[in-house]
């Protein structure tokens, strides 16, 4: 092949037939190239082939490259050969240009078409880079990746937010968290573990921030506490944002989002202080309550960027969360927030067997349902701490998106099970 000749493959993004000249914008994962076909410079047969093409059909074009100030990237392709690989049906379920904006349900119903838009594919390039960076960071900190079951015999954290399934002759549940398994790993001598995997929550929320299947970035560390866990989380967040900023600037530009690398250390706000701040904004919140959506919004109005909320009441945290030794009514739990959005929750865990059994009973649960888990605490369990980060919510902070469904290829929510 001559040096000034190229072969391009992709989808027909747009076509303009001006009579004596045809313009074809050809799209692939990297961008859009312009095919310019003047009737005087190409064969009549090729010109007619081009004229018959339909938008979003898949083609191969061989052509000569020449400079053009008006074309994308400053060059255009004069076609020499054309092959139609797959013809598209018309009309399309939705427009693949950025000129019109379909409703989210229309987009999700035809997600394979929606993903052809660069403003949509940019989201998943950023998410991919973020997950890649998270793995690299944790591996650099000597963490071992693990894989835990997603089908279990009982609830991970108690409660009823579980999806029951038929497991041969008995009932089982989809995993709502790898919590119990990653704690059991702390008794194995691995010390530092992480998992990036789906979790399932049978919550009936129908909001812009909730899904029923999400990807969780989970970490557990032995011989450590909640302060060290927050430090690790903070460093991981900054590293991931830095990597996205470095490698995905074109995608950020496509989304028109000005991603800022957060300053450290992140502010750390005690729970009691947070309650006072929320009340000062005119949103009623009692000490001992969990945050309402109104309270989250109030905090988002006051806080710009990432911050921790620490010292949560023990009574509203799961049984495995360690109480504060100086004030057992408070726990060694923390949440990482981004403005008004909870990104992560974590804590130092209870590592004493008898205290764990006592806390399980206090929450109205049966210790016998956790006997395999509890056994790990009878043969030497080190102090440990950990956290989980919602990958989709984390992606929202790096893209400026307001609807979590946009950060998932094929979301599962209260109403959607297909595609």
What was the pLDDT predicted at 153?
85
Flag whether pLDDT at 29 surpasses 90. Answer: no
Q: Residue 173's CB: how many other CB atoms inside 10 A?
A: 19
Dist CA 91 CA 55 (whole Å)? 9
DSSP 85: E
User: Exposed/middle/buried for 324, CB within 10 Å: 0-12, 13-18, 19+?
Assistant: middle
170-225 pLDDT, tens digit each:
999 999 999 999 999 999 999 999 999 999 999 888 899 999 999 999 999 999 99
9, two tokens? 């493959």
Helix (H, G, I), strand (E, B) or coil at 204: coil
Cα dihedral: 6, 8, 14, 20 (round 10)? 40
All structural domains of the chain = 5-86 (2.40.50.140), 118-267+303-407 (3.30.930.10)
pLDDT for the residue 72: 78
Cα–Cα dist 265/232, whole Å: 11
Q: What's the pLDDT at 70?
A: 80
Q: Are 21 and 38 in contact (CB under 8 A)?
A: yes
Q: Is the pLDDT of residue 156 over 70?
A: no
Per the CB < 8 A criterion, the answer to whether 159 and 317 are in contact is no
Computed from CA positions of residues 321, 325, 331, 334, in that sequence, does the dihedral angle turn out positive or negative?
A: negative
The C-alpha angle 210, 320, 215, rounded to 5 degrees, equals: 30
Task: Read off the pLDDT of residues 73-103 as tens digits, 9 standing for 90 and up.
Answer: 789 999 999 999 999 999 999 999 877 789 9
Burial class from Cβ neighbours inside 10 Å (0-12, 13-18, 19+) for residue 186 reads buried
Residue 30 has pLDDT above 60, yes or no: yes
The whole-angstrom separation of Cα 135 and Cα 138 is 5
Tell me the pLDDT band of 158, cut-offs 50, 70 and 90.
Answer: low
Share of the chain above pLDDT 70, in %: 98
């Amino acid at each position: 092949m001559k040096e000034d000749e190229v072969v391009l493959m992709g989808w027909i993004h747009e076509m303009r037939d001006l009579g004596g000249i045809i313009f074809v914008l050809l799209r692939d994962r990297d961008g859009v190239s312009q095919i310019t076909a003047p009737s005087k410079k190409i064969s009549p047969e090729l010109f007619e082939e081009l004229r018959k093409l339909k938008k979003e059909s898949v083609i191969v074009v061989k052509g000569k490259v020449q400079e053009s100030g008006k074309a994308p990237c400053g060059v255009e392709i004069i076609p020499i050969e054309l092959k139609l690989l797959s013809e598209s049906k018309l009309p399309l379920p939705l427009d693949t240009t950025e000129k019109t904006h379909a409703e989210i349900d229309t987009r999700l119903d035809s997600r394979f078409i929606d993903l052809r838009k660069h403003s949509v594919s940019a989201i998943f390039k950023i998410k991919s880079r973020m997950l890649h960076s998270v793995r690299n960071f944790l591996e650099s900190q000597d963490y071992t990746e693990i894989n835990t079951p997603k089908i279990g015999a009982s609830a991970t954290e108690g409660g009823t937010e579980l999806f029951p399934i038929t497991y041969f002759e008995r009932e089982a549940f989809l995993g709502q968290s790898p919590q119990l398994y990653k704690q059991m790993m702390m008794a194995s001598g691995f010390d530092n573990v992480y998992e990036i995997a789906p979790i399932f929550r049978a919550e009936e929320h129908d909001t812009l921030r909730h899904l029923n299947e999400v990807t969780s970035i989970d970490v557990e560390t032995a011989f450590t506490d909640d302060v060290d866990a927050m430090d690790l989380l903070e460093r991981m967040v900054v590293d991931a944002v830095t990597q996205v900023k470095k490698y995905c600037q074109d995608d950020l530009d496509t989304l028109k989002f000005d991603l800022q690398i957060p300053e450290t250390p992140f502010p750390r706000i005690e729970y009691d202080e947070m309650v006072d701040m929320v009340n000062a904004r005119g949103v009623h919140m009692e000490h001992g309550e969990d945050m309402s959506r109104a309270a989250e919004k109030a905090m988002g109005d006051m806080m710009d960027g990432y911050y921790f909320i620490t010292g949560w009441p023990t009574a509203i945290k799961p049984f495995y969360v360690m109480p504060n030794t100086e004030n057992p009514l408070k726990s060694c739990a923390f949440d990482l927030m981004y403005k008004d959005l909870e990104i992560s929750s974590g804590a130092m865990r209870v590592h004493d067997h008898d205290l764990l059994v006592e806390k399980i009973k206090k929450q109205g649960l049966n210790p016998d349902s956790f006997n395999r888990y509890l056994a790990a605490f009878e043969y030497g369990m080190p102090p440990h701490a950990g956290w989980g980060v919602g990958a989709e919510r984390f992606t929202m902070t790096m893209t400026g998106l307001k609807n979590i469904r946009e950060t998932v290829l094929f979301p599962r929510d209260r109403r959607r099970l297909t595609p």
